[in-house]
Amino acid sequence: MMSIWTEIRRQASRRRTQIALALMVALPLVVLVAFQLDRGDNHRNGGGQFSQYATLATTGGLNFALFTLLVSAGFLLVVVVALFCGDTVASEASWGSLRYLLAMPVPRARLLGVKLVVALAYCVAALVLLTGTALAAGTVRYGWNPLRPPIGAELSPADGSLRLLGVVGYLAVTLLVVAAMAFLLSVSTDAALGAVGGAVLLFIVSSILDQITALGDLRTVLPTHYSEAWLGLLTDPPQVDDVVRGGVSALLYTGLFLALAWWRFLRKDIVS
């Protein structure tokens, strides 16, 4: 029988897993070096929310970690999550090993469950690695100081840590939509690149549509509409209404996509 531990080791030996996790560690260090090389004028002269976070990023480890999440959440984390979940089944089909796994025999539902659990575990590991590395590197360089979001009052390190944990948790929930969509595409095609790219493309299209104000309230049904609701967690007191709506929306979409993935895979003819 196929076990979770066996699948974890199989995925850990793959080059894409190693590169993706290494990138999660490398990115905060690259950002840190970039701030060291920057004299400060580039990110202080600009305007808007991004430049405000960039200005505050060097004031402490918590702020640096928050900035790293800000620059990663919109695309990089989406790609990594889509990679782990979109490649997991489709790659087996493209290699011609999927039918052999099912012939072991491994029940289809069990195979799919193990694949999903391990893929999500690696997604969580990537998010934790990114945040942990940024927090550690930022604290070593800039110190353990209060969290200073541009949209709220200064928060103590203890309170700021809890808020940062809340942001990470919310991002994890919203990224479940990307994971579930990539997983659905992964069981529907033998092309791993198509599954990964399809999930990323749908996320981008949803983000673009969400910027079209003419759509009015129709935007609230888009899976990316509440993607930035985590900013409400940084205010004092925290504003959680959109966080709750975003969490519920993400879980509904995730449940729908995973149900379709199970329905599709259990009825699919496996020929590769």
- DSSP letter string over 118-155? HHHHHHHHHHHHHHHHHHHHHHHHH-S--B--TTS--B
- The pLDDT assigned to 270 comes to 57
- The pLDDT assigned to 146 comes to 92
- The pLDDT assigned to 271 comes to 47
Residue 8 has, within 13 A of its CA and on its CB side, a CA count of 10
Please provide residue 89's backbone torsions phi and psi, each rounded to the nearest 5 degrees.
-95, -45
Distances (CA, A) of 235 to 152, 160, 239, 240, 257: 5, 11, 7, 10, 33
Dihedral sign for Cα 63, 138, 168, 72, please: positive
Would you place residue 272 in the very low, low, confident or very high pLDDT band (cuts 50, 70, 90)? very low
Dihedral sign for Cα 169, 171, 174, 177, please: negative
pTM above 0.85, yes or no: yes
Residue type, 125: A
Residue 143 has, within 13 A of its CA and on its CB side, a CA count of 6
Region 19-33: what's the mean pLDDT? Answer: 95
Strand, helix or coil for residue 147: strand
Task: Examine the pLDDT at 221 and tell me if it is beyond 90.
Answer: yes
Would you place residue 196 in the very low, low, confident or very high pLDDT band (cuts 50, 70, 90)? very high
- The pLDDT assigned to 99 comes to 58
pLDDT over 90, % of the chain = 60
- The pLDDT assigned to 1 comes to 53
What's the gap between Cα 62 and its chain centre? Answer: 19
The more confident residue out of 152 and 133 is 133
Strand, helix or coil for residue 155: strand
- List the one residue out of 9, 189, 4 whose CA is nearest residue 87: 189
Please say whether the beta carbons of 194 and 90 come within 8 A.
yes
Task: Examine the pLDDT at 234 and tell me if it is beyond 60.
Answer: yes
Instruction: Indicate the length of the chain as a whole number.
Output: 272
pLDDT over 70, % of the chain = 87
The more confident residue out of 90 and 246 is 246
C-beta neighbour count of 20 within 10 angstroms: 21
- The pLDDT assigned to 48 comes to 56
Task: Examine the pLDDT at 39 and tell me if it is beyond 80.
Answer: no
Would you place residue 42 in the very low, low, confident or very high pLDDT band (cuts 50, 70, 90)? low
- The pLDDT assigned to 61 comes to 93
Poorest-pLDDT segment among 29-33, 90-94, 137-141, 217-221: 90-94
Region 195-200: what's the mean pLDDT? Answer: 94
Region 137-156: what's the mean pLDDT? Answer: 88
Dihedral sign for Cα 53, 238, 25, 13, please: negative
C-alpha 266/C-alpha 221 separation (Å) is 29
Residue 207 has, within 13 A of its CA and on its CB side, a CA count of 13
Task: Examine the pLDDT at 104 and tell me if it is beyond 70.
Answer: no
Task: Examine the pLDDT at 215 and tell me if it is beyond 60.
Answer: yes
